[in-house]
Structure 1
Amino acid sequence: MTLKEQLQADVTAHMKAGRKLELTTVRNVLGEIGTREKSGKTPVDLTDQEVISLLQKEAAKRRDTARIYVEAGQQDRADAEIAEAEVIEAYLPEALSEEDVTAIVDSVIAELKASGTELGMRSMGQVMKPVTAKVAGRYDGKAVSDIVRSRLA
């Protein structure tokens, strides 16, 4: 079962259970997926990885909105946004720790060095490509880039 199919099945489950927050949140996410699939010249089906990326963006959007509400003194609205973010994050794969990501980066660098590749800051792309594939949406991309940069410096 794909992630999109899981979301669609959960709409029915949330509806039957009367969970309004989860129902509206999942419906909104499915709407966003539908919009993304139909937005190009030709309709496409999003892969699970693309859906995960979209879910991460949606959760981050809600967390940012919650932060803005807190700064504006509207805690009740912030709580609602955080609750939606938590519903979305339940569909994401388990996040990696910084130590796990650092270990992945170190192993990729060791593999590249073993194959005779000379590594420096110019070879950041060579390191980032396999690392990004292994991390696959379970850790912030900018933080991964910072870790790779520090290891290559």
Structure 2
Amino acid sequence: MGTLKDRLQQDMKAHMKAGNRTALATVRNVLGEIGTREKSGKTPVELDDAQTISLLQKEAAKRRDTARIYTEAGEADRATAEIAEAEIIEAYLPAALSRTEVEAIVDEEIAGLRAGGTEPSMRQMGQVMKPVTARVAGRFDGKTVSEIVRSRLA
């Protein structure tokens, strides 16, 4: 199926043909951000899907923050434009998980450690967080994930 970046590039071409200006500009900006991130280090890297998702989340959040500032300043049109861009970006993000789904994932990982003969305590928080974070990747707030893990291990 290709990477998320491939999908963004294909969609950019489709938006160009369709004359969808907002989507085209938004996807082009995001691809620019990806390019900048890939070239910013000492050695160029290729962002994987998880890194691309993380970047997309930040880009969408930036637009939503800007929209809030515009709304507070009475600039409804500009706020609407920012929200439209955020929604275009969010369409590329994996569906969010519910707290119940995340709790179930945490419980599964803890049960897995127990099955392996380890009785998890706060000391093993990292051993629980690592697989949970990998499974949840970009679909739930990381801070809340660590709170859930902490409450389960306490």
Q: TM-score, normalised by structure 2?
A: 0.94
* In 1, Cα distance between equivalents of 2:120 and 2:71: 45
Q: RMSD of aligned C-alpha atoms?
A: 1.1
| 1:94-109 map, 5 Å | 94-109=95-110
Counterpart residue number, 1:19? 20
Listed as ranges, the gaps of 5+ residues in structure 2 are none
Alignment map for 1:41-52 (pairs within 5 Å): 41-52=42-53
The corresponding residue for 1:126 is 127
2:108 alignment partner AA: S
The 3-state SS of whatever aligns with 2:44 is coil
1:23-66, CA deviations, whole angstroms, 9 ceiling, x for partnerless residues? 00000000000000100111111111111111111111111111
Per-residue deviation, residues 100-134 of structure 1 (Å, max 9, x unmatched): 11100111111112212132222211110010111
Q: List aligned pairs for 1:33-112, cutoff 5 A.
A: 33-112=34-113
User: Counterpart of 1:82 in 2: which secondary structure?
Assistant: helix
The CA distance in 2 between the partners of 1:45 and 1:32, in whole Å, is: 13
Say how many residue pairs are matched: 153
| Aligned-partner Cα distance in 2 for 1:71–1:145 | 32
Alpha-carbon distance, 1:71 to partner: 2.1
Q: TM-score, normalised on structure 1?
A: 0.95
Question: Where in structure 1 do 4 or more consecutive aligned residues deviate above 6 Å?
Answer: none
Partner of 1:149: 150
Q: Structure 1: 5+ residue runs without aligned partners?
A: none
Match of 1:31 in 2: 32
The 2-side partners of 1:121 and 1:43 are apart by 38
CA distance in 2, matches of 1:122, 1:150: 13
Q: Distance in 2 between matches of 1:72 and 1:91?
A: 29
